[in-house]
Copies of this chain bind each other. A is one copy, B any other.
Amino acid sequence: METADLLKVLYIVAIVAEAMTAALAAGRREMDWVGVCLLGSVTALGGGSVRDVLLGRHPLSWVQHPEYLLITCGAALATIMVARYMRHLRYVFLFLDAVGLVVFTVIGCNVAMSLDMPVVVVIAAGMITGCVGGVLRDVLCADVPLLFRAELYGTVSIVTGGLYMAGKALDLPHDPLTIGVMAFGLGMRMLALRFGWRMPKFVYTETIH
């Protein structure tokens, strides 16, 4: 299997995993079935959509491939059926969520590179693709986004994108580079979860406004 095909398969796995974890978040808010579908789809497809809107790239992926919308709605609805067993799958989902983070990041970098964007924008595009879906989920649940506090979530995306661009600058061969940086990012996220690694927090208690 070529890396491009692997990325495509992992992309489907990732949007399914994101839609399912978002469906659980919807369930914690007692949303109805339509809300579950919507929150799942926005979470799974929102990062790539925001990236494409900001970069002025049309059509968006789910406009070109409407089956993605059906997949995310189906995954969100399926979650309602299997939710009672998901407690036992906690680690599977944290793992799939981490896979989604690095896959989305690399895909976002590839999209921005195909548009000849400067390197800072490429890394930003990777991070937007990887992280914004979860931000939209949290905003729609009226929460402060987890991204701003979670174990290295945003950091993993930036590091993955940065290493990928460094490898490209060194002209490393595409396929091993792609696999390598995704494995590195995935390992970093799983270790951060295992050992509770976090970025230092900034705590400020004065009021300026």
Contact = CB atoms under 8 A, between A and B. Distances in A.
Interface stretch (A3-11, A54-62, A166-174, A183-191): A54-62
Given A54-B63, A86-B206, A142-B142, A147 B200 contact: no
A201 B30 contact: yes
A135 to B, nearest CB: 7
A90 B208 contact: yes
A206 B39 CA distance: 18
The prevalent SS among residues of A at the interface is helix
Interface in A142-163: 142-150, 154-155, 158
Contacts of A24: 204, 206, 208
Interface string A47-58: 001000111101
Contacts of A155: 34
Interface in A1-54: 21, 23-24, 26-36, 38-39, 49, 53-54
Given A93-B208, A142-B142, A154 B202 contact: no
A176 interface: no
Interface string A119-136: 111001000000000010
A39 B148 contact: yes
Contacts of A23: 202
Interface residues of A, number: 71
Given A32-B198, A53-B53, A143-B142, A208 B58 contact: no
Nearest to A135: B140
A88 to B, nearest CB: 10
> Shortest 8 CB-CB distances between A and B: which pairs?
A27-B204, A35-B148, A56-B58, A66-B120, A32-B199, A31-B148, A34-B154, A27-B202
10 contacts: A26-B204, A28-B207, A29-B144, A30-B149, A31-B202, A34-B199, A35-B149, A70-B120, A93-B208, A135-B140
